[in-house]
Amino acid sequence: MTADREFSTFVRAPANIAWIKYWGKKGPQLPANPSLSLTLKECATETELVATPAKDLAVELFFDGIHQEKFRDKTRQHIELLAALHPRLARFHYLIRTHNTFPHSSGIASSASSSAALGLALSRLLEAHGEVADAGSFARLGSGSACRSLHGGFALWGETPLVKGSSDLHAVDVNAHVHGDFQGTRDTVLIVSRREKELSSRLGHAQMDQHPYAQGRNAQALGNLQRLWKALASGDWASAGEVIENEALSLHALMFAAHPGVVLLEPNTLEIIRLVRMFRAESKLPIYFTIDAGPNVHLLYPASAQLKVEPFIRHELLPFTDQKSGVIWDCAGEGAS
Ligand code: PMV
């Protein structure tokens, strides 16, 4: 067995936005249904990790140059989980400097990008010691959706007969299946509110265990995945968009109907949805919304529509966003490196 030795690495992992939502788990961080996402370009976590051999596990973490106990404890838990599978990981002192390229609490899932970054860094540490490590599983054990961030463009997580080699353990790259101008998809993120989330995704997933609509949700997600899969193969924005919006609204419908019911949408979220649909009907341009577990809206459209969509967003939608953070202009990106 290779002796432990000092190791350092720098990784960058982007955020991703789900078009088919993962909501509800089974087993050890395995998804109740398959999900499909687009990895972003600009919104990312950058992490430098220096691991020094030590008797016991220790973690020191700086976020934006400042000691951050909450993130340190979360990171430590993630490492402990992985160390139960790979004991070597418990024999290091980790010095971690991490930073997000997007505003904290902007509603962009920083847990996905940060867990992907940490998972990738730790898998590299093991590989440097001659051990085999699955970065996707490592990321997933920190935050489920993180495993999709390792891949660029479109990634699918969860076993489905639609995709050979698909797995509940990690995500797979499905870009070869995607045609038309989906590859250059623009994602403009409208920050409606920067308030801390009232519902952690852990709690949200747990609510699905006893949810009255759990079975129906599963069937819906599988049907939506099939429809989206077909649309992606034929470059059909209208069909894809219908599914994407249905997934976003269904995610929130599940939260409304949970015990206790959770309302994360803000009045301005609803106003943005209304305006987007009106603009789409009038302009006939393919612009669709999706929303994660929060009030902020992701606007998805092909690069070819950008020239006409941008003035609409600036003039009609920005008044409904948080004045300080407002908007992030992002697009499909390349995955973790
Ligand atoms: O990866 P988690 O546990 O933060 O859950 C992500 C849940 C959603 O963002 C709402 C949907 C998804 O698939 O990303």
Q: 137-176 pLDDT, tens per residue?
A: 999 999 999 999 999 999 999 999 999 999 999 999 999 9
Distance in Å, CA 14 to ligand 1 centroid: 14
Q: Would you state the pLDDT for residue 120?
A: 98
Q: Would you state the pLDDT for residue 106?
A: 59
Q: Would you state the pLDDT for residue 23?
A: 97
pLDDT classification of 102: cutoffs 50, 70, 90 = confident
Q: Would you state the pLDDT for residue 21?
A: 98
Q: Would you state the pLDDT for residue 148?
A: 98
Q: Would you state the pLDDT for residue 201?
A: 87
Q: Output the CA torsion sign for 140, 146, 150, 152.
A: positive
* H or E segment and range at residue 229: helix 214-234
Q: Would you state the pLDDT for residue 187?
A: 98
Q: Does residue 104 register a pLDDT over 80?
A: no
Tokens of 86: 């790979």
Kindly give the number of the ligand 1 atom that is closest to the alpha carbon of 202: 3
Residue carrying the six token digits 């950058």: 46
In the predicted model, what is the mean pLDDT of residues 50-73? Answer: 95
What is the crossing angle of helices 69-83 and 110-128, to 10°?
50
Distance in Å, CA 278 to ligand 1 centroid: 28
Please write the tens of the pLDDT for every residue from 195-246: 777 788 889 999 999 999 999 999 999 999 999 999 999 999 999 999 999 9
**DSSP annotation string for 123-148:** HHHHHHTT----HHHHHHHH-GGGGG
Distance in Å, CA 129 to ligand 1 centroid: 32
Please write the tens of the pLDDT for every residue from 260-291: 999 999 999 999 999 999 999 999 999 999 99
The C-alpha atoms of residue 193 and residue 107 are separated, in whole angstroms, by 8
Distance in Å, CA 237 to ligand 1 centroid: 23
Kindly give the number of the ligand 1 atom that is closest to the alpha carbon of 16: 14
Distance in Å, CA 54 to ligand 1 centroid: 34
Q: Would you state the pLDDT for residue 328?
A: 93
If one residue of 20, 23, 78, 290 were mutated to test the ligand 1 pocket, choosing by the most ligand atoms within 8 A of its CB, it would be 23
Q: Would you state the pLDDT for residue 213?
A: 98
Q: Distance of CA 120 to CAs 46, 167, 214, 296, Å?
A: 11, 18, 32, 28
Tokens of 251: 């995610």
Q: Would you state the pLDDT for residue 325?
A: 65
Distance in Å, CA 21 to ligand 1 centroid: 7
Q: Would you state the pLDDT for residue 28?
A: 83
The C-alpha atoms of residue 214 and residue 207 are separated, in whole angstroms, by 9
Q: Does residue 336 register a pLDDT over 70?
A: yes
Whose C-alpha lies nearest to ligand 1, atom 6? 145
Our measurement of the distance from residue 156's CA atom to the centroid of its chain's CA atoms, rounded to an integer in Å, reads: 12
Our measurement of the distance from residue 71's CA atom to the centroid of its chain's CA atoms, rounded to an integer in Å, reads: 18
- By the 10 Å C-beta count (0-12 exposed, 13-18 middle, 19+ buried), 281 is classed as exposed
Distance in Å, CA 307 to ligand 1 centroid: 31
Residue 23 backbone phi and psi in degrees, to 5: -150, 100
The C-alpha atoms of residue 206 and residue 262 are separated, in whole angstroms, by 13
Q: Would you state the pLDDT for residue 322?
A: 87
If one residue of 201, 208, 217, 296 were mutated to test the ligand 1 pocket, choosing by the most ligand atoms within 8 A of its CB, it would be 201
Residue carrying the six token digits 């001659």: 130
Q: Would you state the pLDDT for residue 1?
A: 75
Our measurement of the distance from residue 302's CA atom to the centroid of its chain's CA atoms, rounded to an integer in Å, reads: 20
Kindly give the number of the ligand 1 atom that is closest to the alpha carbon of 111: 4
Q: Report the first-to-last Cα separation within the chain, whole angstroms.
A: 28
Q: Would you state the pLDDT for residue 105?
A: 60
Contacts of 174 (CB under 8 A, 6+ apart): 36, 154, 155, 156, 163, 232
Kindly give the number of the ligand 1 atom that is closest to the alpha carbon of 292: 10
Distance in Å, CA 284 to ligand 1 centroid: 31
Which one-letter amino acid corresponds to residue 249? L
Distance in Å, CA 55 to ligand 1 centroid: 35
Mean pLDDT taken over the chain? 95
Contacts of 146 (CB under 8 A, 6+ apart): 13, 111, 112, 113, 114, 115, 116, 119, 139, 140
Residue 111 backbone phi and psi in degrees, to 5: -70, -30
If one residue of 17, 19, 20, 21 were mutated to test the ligand 1 pocket, choosing by the most ligand atoms within 8 A of its CB, it would be 21
Residues near ligand 1 (Cβ within 6 A): 18, 21-23, 35, 109, 111-112, 143-145, 201, 251, 292-293
Whose C-alpha lies nearest to ligand 1, atom 9? 292
In the predicted model, what is the mean pLDDT of residues 74-103? Answer: 96
Kindly give the number of the ligand 1 atom that is closest to the alpha carbon of 115: 1
Tokens of 318: 């920005």
Lowest mean pLDDT among 146-160, 178-192, 315-329: 315-329
Distance in Å, CA 67 to ligand 1 centroid: 27
pLDDT classification of 107: cutoffs 50, 70, 90 = low
pLDDT classification of 79: cutoffs 50, 70, 90 = very high
